[in-house]
A = this chain, B = another copy of it.
């Protein structure tokens, strides 16, 4: 089985690639498991050497839109035998709010070009689309319900969420038309992400844990009582794999499935960090309000009932402290402060 990951050099893409290579096989849409023969990682930068050294891995490096405009780029990425595409590549929320046209190109046009290329294969490949919690937005003129359900009407309050929601519609219609076998999956904010801050408005929700553990100062730009819905990297990858594995019948509607999330607050996250790494860690957090970020993040919902995900057997993280301890175990070189047992 040949699998493609767009955004394959990003944090989630690399983690998904490692997981797939470790599994060595995948069962597509309820079919029997099939061995992974080729994993193509598409991104603007090359993936880590550890992945490139696996003989099953091919890297295609370039801007997704540009690759898809070009016959050579398309055929390097997608083969007639490509079975599954995980479409993770995107411009993030902060970038899209600052540059409307960039967001439209990266999140709508690139997805459309990818769907066109999949359709041209004439083989109805599986496409798992990573949409986002950010499709939901609260506003004075249209308050969100207290609890978000799978069938709650998204009313995006930022361009990233709007573009993701439009792309969901296109994935659904291309599925209905039989061009692809599509799965719309709404990812929650992933925390704790390793690595560096990115342009996502939610970037601080990893940074406020990751940086102090590394002995560095971090900023929390929202008040401690700000409620957030998070998912660990492990649960997020589980959700993407589940989408690819589930049969059409079990998956059901073409509209998006909200992944499970743990509901917590910025303050409770800092408290969990204190339990793991002590006051020395939490003292490194500067609680400096940033109205631009707060406006985006506080308009995302914090209570989400993931009914369809639960029916598919997907469970939420139950404990943010456990998520921090997973991060510490998985990223020993990035942790400089002493950690309690």
Contacts and interface: CB of A to CB of B under 8 A. Distances in A.
A74 B33 CA distance: 55
B142 A157 contact: no
Contacts of A155: 172, 253-255
A114 to B, nearest CB: 14
The list of the 3 closest CB pairs from A to B, nearest first, reads A142-B253, A162-B173, A166-B166
Q: How many copies of the shown chain assemble into the complex?
A: 2
Contacts of A170: 162, 166
Interface string A125-152: 0000000000000010110000000011
A304 to B, nearest CB: 15
A153 B153 contact: yes
B157 A176 contact: yes
Contacts of A153: 151-154, 255
A contact face: mostly helix, strand, loop, or mixed: mixed
Contacts of A239: none
A65 interface: no
Contacts of A165: 169
Contact of A162 (B100, B142, B169): B169
A24 interface: no
Interface in A151-191: 151-157, 159, 162, 165-166, 169-170, 172-173, 176-177
Interface of A: 100, 104, 112, 139, 141-142, 151-157, 159, 162, 165-166, 169-170, 172-173, 176-177, 252-255
A141 B173 contact: no
A340 B100 CA distance: 59
A139 B254 CA distance: 10
Contact of A169 (B139, B152, B156, B255): B156
A95 to B, nearest CB: 15
Contacts of A169: 156, 162, 165-166, 169
Contacts of A177: 100, 159
A139 B159 CA distance: 29
Contacts of A152: 153
Nearest to A96: B173
A156 B173 contact: yes
A329 B179 CA distance: 48
A193 to B, nearest CB: 27
A172 B141 CA distance: 13
A170 B177 CA distance: 23
